[in-house]
Amino acid sequence: MENNEITEETREHYEDLISEVGEQYFNKRWMSNPVARSHYHQTVKAINHILVRCPQDLDVLEVGSGPGTWTNVLLEVSRTLKVFDISSEFLKVMKHKYQSESRVRDFICGDFVEDSARLNGEQFDMIFSGRALEYMSSKQQVVENCYDHLKDNGYLVIITKNPMWRDKRLSKKDNEGIHRAQIYWKDLSSMFYEQGFEDVKVLPAAMGSYHFPLNNRAGACISDLVFKFTFKKPMNESIDALTESYLIIGRKAVNTKNVVKL
């Protein structure tokens, strides 16, 4: 297993950050400027595009839930939802936010790479991870663990940052610290296939840039327009530079009866 140093750095970073900002994290991270707002709404659109094509009334595991940024979207298709995150501070926010939501039934604090046994062998119809994989020590182990905890024909959906994004290549800070271990979509797609997933698809999840000329309201509108015409199409090298993050989905194929084709 790969060194878990980046996982521990991530845990410490968010424990400190969330202890300061608490439930204001969402607004500070996603609503503070036009590009961030654009990325958030694009990502929600990408998730919904996938979820409406999947079965409904699912038992869902959210890995790396953070403060519940994407949880409301998942609840649209969930019968039950369990969350797994490395940050106790994030889970405090989650517990307060969903204290009256009966479908959110468990909160597990731990490193999913090393602590997935805390699920006690439970299997799910869908496992979702939104913008957390890049902070995990072993991508391969995450994919393996998710496969083991999926029911037959269950879906694994991961959104993660794209290392070929123009901003990352222009900004030194995105190549250091907790952002240094991003994985390219072709490599992650290969892991899915090698693990035994079928119907693997990779789609853009968020497009745009914090650098000129797309770093303002007009630029965000242009990025939204480009996203509108590309988010249903497979990822390709021609849009790498503009794609901040991508969505990958695969199905654990064992029993092929009653399978919903995406």
Pairing of strands 150-161, 78-85: unpaired
What does the pLDDT look like over 42-97, one tens digit per residue?
999 999 999 999 999 999 999 999 999 999 999 999 999 999 999 999 999 999 99
- With 0.85 as the threshold, say if the pTM is over it: yes
Q: Where are the domains of the chain?
A: 5-252
What does the pLDDT look like over 200-256, one tens digit per residue?
999 999 999 999 999 999 999 999 999 999 999 999 999 999 999 999 999 998 864
Domain 5-252, architecture per CATH: 3-Layer(aba) Sandwich (3.40)
Helices assigned H by DSSP within the chain? 5-21, 25-30, 34-51, 71-75, 88-97, 112-115, 139-148, 166-170, 185-195, 217-228
Cβ-proximal residues to 187 (8 Å cutoff; 6+ apart), any chain: none
* Amino acid letter for position 68: G
Q: Tell me the Ramachandran region of residue 169: left when phi exceeds 0, alpha when psi lies from -120 to 50, beta otherwise.
A: alpha
Report cis status (omega within 30 of 0) of the bond before 213.
Answer: yes
What confidence tier does 262 reach under pLDDT thresholds 50, 70, 90?
low
